[in-house]
Amino acid sequence: MNEYEVFELGDVVLQGGATLRAAKLAYKTFGSLNEDKSNAIVYPTWYSGRHWENEWLIGEGMALDPNEYFIIIPNMLGNGLSSSPSNTPPPYDKARFPNITVYDNVAVQHQLVTEQFGIEKLALVTGWSMGAGQTYQWAVSYPEMVERVLPFCGSAKTSLHNIVFLEGVKAALTADASWKEGWYEEQPTKGLRAMARVYAGWGFSQAFYWDEVYREMGYSSLEDFLVGFWEGFFLDDRDANNLLTMLWTWQNGDISKTPGFDGDYEKALASIQAKAIVMPAEKDLYFPPEDEEYAVERMPNAELRVIPGVWGHFAGGGLNPDDTKFIDDALKELLAN
Amino acid sequence: MNEYEVFELGDVVLQGGATLRAAKLAYKTFGSLNEDKSNAIVYPTWYSGRHWENEWLIGEGMALDPNEYFIIIPNMLGNGLSSSPSNTPPPYDKARFPNITVYDNVAVQHQLVTEQFGIEKLALVTGWSMGAGQTYQWAVSYPEMVERVLPFCGSAKTSLHNIVFLEGVKAALTADASWKEGWYEEQPTKGLRAMARVYAGWGFSQAFYWDEVYREMGYSSLEDFLVGFWEGFFLDDRDANNLLTMLWTWQNGDISKTPGFDGDYEKALASIQAKAIVMPAEKDLYFPPEDEEYAVERMPNAELRVIPGVWGHFAGGGLNPDDTKFIDDALKELLAN
């Protein structure tokens, strides 16, 4: 499951001016590219996610059926598999790893898709959370190339509140002195656990906790959930500098920073040609439906479809079969048109 | 403005079994007690608040008019003025300060009200946030004594999600090694600042940030607001151990832990005799209106009245004139009946 390919990007000049030398894009594919190369789907990863944590949305009989589509999961820069603070040799390692934008991520994914596979059209780009951000960015960076998009539980521009939520996450991690401004030899686990506890309140809705839905997930108490799910999540081979790199990417996500839009968010949204179903979750605390409603109203060919229920942001995390079916149904509908 | 009285409680045996020796309850009063002692109002403080931070709701022409009512603001145990980790002599100082429940807080307030002033009926108990929690507790601990309650932006029982939010706040503060498990000589300011940043995303709503309402408050940018308002808030003579004491009080707030209710929340709610207007804020992220709707449905004489707008939890913080008027109007209505 963890086998994957690596695309050698060479030296990548980033949007911020730095050069990511000998950059690597780790990816995994499912299914086969058809003869006219019309069945390709790009499905980027989310904050801290690795390609295998995307696979729940792929399967026979599902919208993302490998018998029908050629599905590419590119790992986000900074996630520990693609070029990251944790795997880049000095002098660009650890705290010196450059800032990466969502635009940069999509630019290198575009290189992979076109140079490695010779694909000219994408049937679909889809993704959860920061994967949704990359989905929007694909539609803005390459409007002629992307036929359909289905971003779920994510946004085209990181809202100010979302930036503040992430400030709290970052502050908790970096309050641990053993982080050493990024120059640690061992993971600052106290900070990672603190970050996990901050995240816990945001990832699921108030009602999720009220209903104690974590019991259905196999956790015997609230504390068991905080340790077992949340602390375990951020200790699972995740790296503090990698998490901070991706956090910067997230905080600075904004399609209007794409060259040509000069910060005009409405103009960037209006430039999207792809047919879109935009799917925020009803009780997502950091990507609230209101923000996506705003976006959809400014996109020429988009529908807002809110994922109902109490799972909040994790409605898009593949943990709840009802939510997964709701997303999968929308993907099927979109791909059929 | 900071002058206040101190009521000597003697040795207080707490709900958890510890004894708080030579305990002190700091309080401030406004107005005069009338002859039949029928015009007393208790208005407890909130998480980290001091009596002077309650005064915005008191004034001539307002519901809490000192010309008409005798208003007592008791400072919560742990807030740095009443007995707290920061002002209790060894061996009960700092990390050894005992756990205090909301029930304990109200019990000592009851001592003040009855022993110091000989008051037998309270016209009203009201408060914001943890002050609302104490308000509910008054109505359950002393149902015959409390005629009216108006808890705003708070709950009778701390919800599981609220507990998780506070876990994040606590984890951020205690991730700072200079906290030293409570045995610091100087405040762990990195941890206090981290806690402030975590709190920032919770205290105001998503829409508050989207609309950049902090600009109306005199902050020139998001970062200016995070430093000036939030970090400043937790550095303003607040003490880490005090904050952790009150945080424990908050996390363990639950009227059903009152003797006689044996954890039966519904029964505790049903026992409230006071006429109540319960006022959650529409977009409060840790005291969502749904939770208070649940409470009001189980209270015999209560009305739910949601504070509209984007200010979230801080709708009850006295910073927004519209919200203050909305609360004040409800207080006037309740007191008139």
Q: Which of B194, B243, B233 is nearest to B80 (CA)?
A: B243
For residue B337, what pLDDT is reported?
Answer: 87
For A28-53, give one letter per residue: b (16+ CB within 10 A) or e: bbbbebeeebebbbbbbbbbbbbbbb
- Tell me if B255 sits within 8 A of B271, measured CB to CB: no
Contacts of A173 in chain B (CB under 8 A): 175
Q: For chain A, give the percent of residues with pLDDT over 90.
A: 99
- Tell me if B236 sits within 8 A of B226, measured CB to CB: no
3-class secondary-structure state, position B286: coil
The domain segmentation of chain A, as residue ranges, is 5-159+253-335, 162-246
**Fold (topology level) of A5-159+253-335:** Rossmann fold (3.40.50)
Evaluate if residue B1 carries a pLDDT over 60: no
Q: Do B194 and A172 touch (CB under 8 A)?
A: yes
- Closest residue to A200, CB basis, from B168, B176, B286: B168
- pLDDT tens-digit readout, A18-32: 999 999 999 999 999
Q: Do B191 and A206 touch (CB under 8 A)?
A: no
Helix axes A160-174, B189-203, angle to 10 degrees: 150
Tally of CA atoms within 13 A in the half-sphere of A88 that contains its CB: 28
- pLDDT tens-digit readout, A284-328: 999 999 999 999 999 999 999 999 999 999 999 999 999 999 999
- pLDDT tens-digit readout, B214-260: 999 999 999 999 999 999 999 999 999 999 999 999 999 999 999 99
Chain A's closest residue to B169, CA to CA, is A198
Evaluate if residue B316 carries a pLDDT over 60: yes
- Tell me if A10 sits within 8 A of A23, measured CB to CB: yes
Evaluate if residue A1 carries a pLDDT over 70: no
Tally of CA atoms within 13 A in the half-sphere of B336 that contains its CB: 8
Chain B's closest residue to A163, CA to CA, is B201
For residue A326, what pLDDT is reported?
Answer: 98
Average pLDDT over residues A133-162: 98
Mapping DSSP onto H, E and C, the string for B154-214 reads CCCECCHHHHHHHHHHHHHHHCCHHHHHHCCCCCCHHHHHHHHHHHHHHHCCHHHHHCCHH
Cite the active site residues of B.
129, 284, 313
Q: For chain A, give the percent of residues with pLDDT over 70.
A: 99
- pLDDT tens-digit readout, A83-119: 999 999 999 999 999 999 999 999 999 999 999 999 9
Evaluate if residue B32 carries a pLDDT over 60: yes
- Tell me if B255 sits within 8 A of B136, measured CB to CB: yes
Question: How far, in Å, CA of A227 to CA of A213, rounded?
Answer: 16
Question: How far, in Å, CA of A197 to CA of B170, rounded?
Answer: 9
Question: How far, in Å, CA of B29 to CA of B41, rounded?
Answer: 10
- pLDDT tens-digit readout, B150-196: 999 999 999 999 999 999 999 999 999 999 999 999 999 999 999 99
- pLDDT tens-digit readout, A254-292: 999 999 999 999 999 999 999 999 999 999 999 999 999
- Closest residue to A171, CB basis, from B172, B206, B212: B172
Average pLDDT value over all residues in chain A: 98
CB neighbours of residue B186 within 10 Å: 7
Average pLDDT value over all residues in chain B: 98
Average pLDDT over residues A167-191: 98
Compute CA B262 distance to the chain's CA centroid, rounded to the nearest angstrom: 24
Distance from CA of B225 to the nearest CA of A (A): 10
For residue A5, what pLDDT is reported?
Answer: 98
What CA–CA distances, in Å, run from A121 to A39, A117, A173, B201?
Answer: 8, 11, 41, 40
Cα dihedral sign for A242, A246, A249, A255? Answer: positive
Cβ-based neighbours of A134, under 8 Å, separated by 6 or more: A44, A76, A102, A105, A106, A109, A125, A127
For residue B165, what pLDDT is reported?
Answer: 98
- Closest residue to B206, CB basis, from A197, A207, A288: A288
- Confidence class of residue B322 from pLDDT cuts 50, 70 and 90? very high
Question: ipTM, 2 decimals?
Answer: 0.95
The question of whether A161 is a catalytic residue gets the answer no
Average pLDDT over residues A67-78: 98
For residue A337, what pLDDT is reported?
Answer: 86
Q: For chain B, give the percent of residues with pLDDT over 90.
A: 99
What type of residue sits at position A82? S
For residue B262, what pLDDT is reported?
Answer: 97
Question: How far, in Å, CA of A282 to CA of A131, rounded?
Answer: 18
Q: Which residues of A touch B (CB under 8 A)?
A: 159-165, 167-178, 190-191, 193-202, 205-210, 212, 222, 226, 285-286, 288, 290-291
Question: How far, in Å, CA of A232 to CA of B148, rounded?
Answer: 47
- pLDDT tens-digit readout, A193-236: 999 999 999 999 999 999 999 999 999 999 999 999 999 999 99
Question: How far, in Å, CA of A222 to CA of B31, rounded?
Answer: 46
Domain B5-158+254-335 part of CATH 3.40.50.1820: yes
Q: Do B198 and A164 touch (CB under 8 A)?
A: no
- Closest residue to A206, CB basis, from B176, B193, B288: B288
Q: Do A206 and B170 touch (CB under 8 A)?
A: no
Q: Do A226 and B160 touch (CB under 8 A)?
A: no
